[in-house]
Amino acid sequence: MVMKHLTLLPLLFIVWVNSVTLAEDWPQWGGRQRDLVWRETGIVSQLPPGKLPRVWSVPVGEGYSGPAVADGRVFLTDRVHAEGRRGVERVWAFDANTGAVLWKHEYDCEYTISYPAGPRATPTVDGNRVYTIGAVGNMFCFDVATGEVIWSKNFQSDYQTKLPTWGMAAAPLVHGNQLITLVGGPRALLVSFDKLSGKELWRALDDPAIGYCPPVLFNIHGQEQLICWHPHSVTGLDPSNGQILWNTPFHVQAGLTVATPRQVGNRILVTAFYNGSRLIEIAEDGRGAKFVWQGNSDSEIDTDGLHGLMCTPSIHGNEIYGVCSHGQLRCLDIATGNRIWESTQPTGSGRWWNAFLIEQDGRYFIHNEQGELIIAKLSRDGYDELSRSLLVEPTRPVQRRQTIWSHPAFAMRSVFARNDKELVRVSLAEAK
């Protein structure tokens, strides 16, 4: 009997490993690897018509921030308006299985920013802590289980931050013992904090504009580099101390550095609403950079490549996919930056029209601003839509249309999405 049980142990271990491999959280902006790729398997091949059935739905307030999902919990930020510019920002923790409220933290918050409809930055979960940044620079470190505030910062009072037009939007990045984030004070565009205590470890860069793009960490030529795309440059830094490794000037109109940089080998892609795209190649020693190609247009209307705003582009093989300034889903050749095709079928057409692209097992889940979820295949040959359904109702009026500009999370074989009224979980698990 003992021998029989021992024989079963390797098989049980294999089953356990496979279950761990197949399930994955979405603990921060862009998922576990911050690259907007959904790596779970066992996902539906088609969506049912109409409105997707919910596992649960809970009421929430206004906000552009997306949810983060980790260890059976969902974290979200929102805002409730008060008289004038006053209001309350809130941080929520929900049970991912039932939607039950686990805890809530709220604090007074006066908005002086444009589009004053709630927080922008997705929470970042790291072990037993979750980090949030509000629209006007209130940063908190919470205990994930209890909601206890472990430490906090106020960018405006602590760093004399002058808020960007549309508020603080960049999600913080955990690296080792560091929490690295945009702050924006004098010589402190980027600040590293001890993630446990909140003590400042280093600060770097001085840009009068802050931008909205979250920092990312890439391994280039075997070297870790911290990439900060800010309104006047794309900069590579040593993440251990904030020292500049290289700097490539790129003046971005209106400070609209929004879409997250993407890596392909030793090259980095960035794309801006007015100024188009740039592909940057990093030198072999990691201390220099040059443009491989760049767009020739500084117009949001007369565009020649990809003029992205909120949609972080996806790179697959030799193609770049992204949503351009007026809603065109475009495919570009990565070697040249030339446009191969475009389609407005998944998006629509209008200024700032948007959709988010999430790669999954050789296809894409596309969440557009009309609140729809689409499954499609993207290739050099064109756009091939497989199915679409309504995920959540669009609730935010923009340019005479109703929109959703909040990125969903994909975890637990489900999609977690919000508008200005509710947070929902919808199962996308393949039927057994």
Q: How would residue 5 be classed by pLDDT, with cut points 50, 70 and 90?
A: very low
pLDDT value for 399: 85
Q: pTM higher than 0.85, yes or no?
A: yes
Is residue 422 packed enough to be buried (19+ CB in 10 Å), middle (13-18) or exposed (0-12)? middle
pLDDT digits (tens, 9 = 90+) for 48-95: 999 999 999 999 999 999 999 999 999 999 999 988 889 999 999 999
Least confident range from 243-247, 315-319, 371-375, 398-402: namely 398-402
- Classify residue 357: in a domain, yes or no: no
Share of the chain above pLDDT 90, in %: 91
pLDDT band at 2 (very low <50, low <70, confident <90, very high): very low
Closest by Cα among 377, 376, 420, 372 to 395: 420
> Does position 117 have pLDDT exceeding 90, yes or no?
yes
335 domain-assigned: no
Domain count across the chain:
1
403-427, pLDDT tens digit by residue? 999 999 999 999 999 999 999 999 9
End-to-end CA distance of the chain: 33
331: nearest Cα among 352, 353, 308, 302: 308
Q: pLDDT band at 22, cuts 50/70/90?
A: low
Q: What CATH code is carried by the domain that includes residue 280? A: 2.40.10.480
**Which residues partner with 180 through β-bridges?**
173, 192
**How large is the average pLDDT for residues 339-353?**
94
Residue 339 domain-assigned (yes or no): no
Backbone angles phi, psi at 16, to 5 degrees: -65, -45
* In a domain? residue 191: yes
Q: What CA–CA distance (Å, rounded) separates 172 from 121?
A: 8
Q: Kindly report, residue by residue over 95-104, the tens digit of the pLDDT.
A: 999 999 999 9
Statement: residue 249 has pLDDT above 60: yes
Q: Which residue has the tokens 């007369």?
A: 302
The HSE-up count of residue 20 (CA atoms within 13 Å, CB side) is 6
CB-based contacts of 340, cutoff 8 Å, min separation 6? 319, 331, 332, 333, 380
- Residue 285 placed within a domain: yes
Give the DSSP letter string of 168-185: --PPPEEETTEEEEEEEE
Is the model's pLDDT at 13 over the cut of 90?
Answer: no
CB neighbour burial string for 322-350, b if at least 16 within 10 angstroms, e if fewer = bbbbbbbbbbbebeebebbbbbbebbbeb
Residue 264, phi then psi, degrees to nearest 5? -140, 105
184 found inside a domain: yes
Instruction: Specify if 279 maps to a domain.
Output: yes
What element of type H or E holds 6? helix 2-22
DSSP 10-49: HHHHHHHHHHHHH---B-STTTTTTS-B----SB-SSPPS
Q: Which structural domain range is residue 208 located in?
A: 177-291
Q: How far apart are CA 281 and CA 286, in angstroms?
A: 10
- What single DSSP character describes residue 7? H
**Count of other CB atoms within 10 angstroms of residue 2:** 6
- Examine the pLDDT at 1 and tell me if it is beyond 70: no
Q: Find the helix or strand (DSSP H, E) in which 193 lies.
A: strand 188-194
Under 8 Å between Cβ of 272 and 323? no
Under the phi-then-psi rule, with left for phi > 0, alpha for psi from -120 to 50, and beta for the rest, what region is 234? beta
Please report whether residue 255 resides in a domain. yes
Q: pLDDT above 70 covers what percent of the chain? A: 95
Question: In whole numbers, what is the pLDDT of the chain averaged over residues?
Answer: 94
The confidence band for 225, taking pLDDT boundaries of 50, 70 and 90, is very high
SS3 5: helix
According to the 3-state scheme, what is the secondary structure of 335-361?
Answer: CCCCEEEEECCCCCCCCCCCEEEEEEC
pLDDT attached to residue 78: 98
pLDDT tens-digit readout, 322-331: 999 999 999 9
- Cα angle 182, 143, 106 (rounded to 5 degrees) comes to 70
CA distance 131 to 187: 23
> Edge-to-edge strand order for the sheet containing 422-427?
56-59, 422-427, 414-418, 409-411
What are the backbone dihedrals phi and psi of residue 17, each rounded to the nearest 5 degrees, phi first? -60, -45
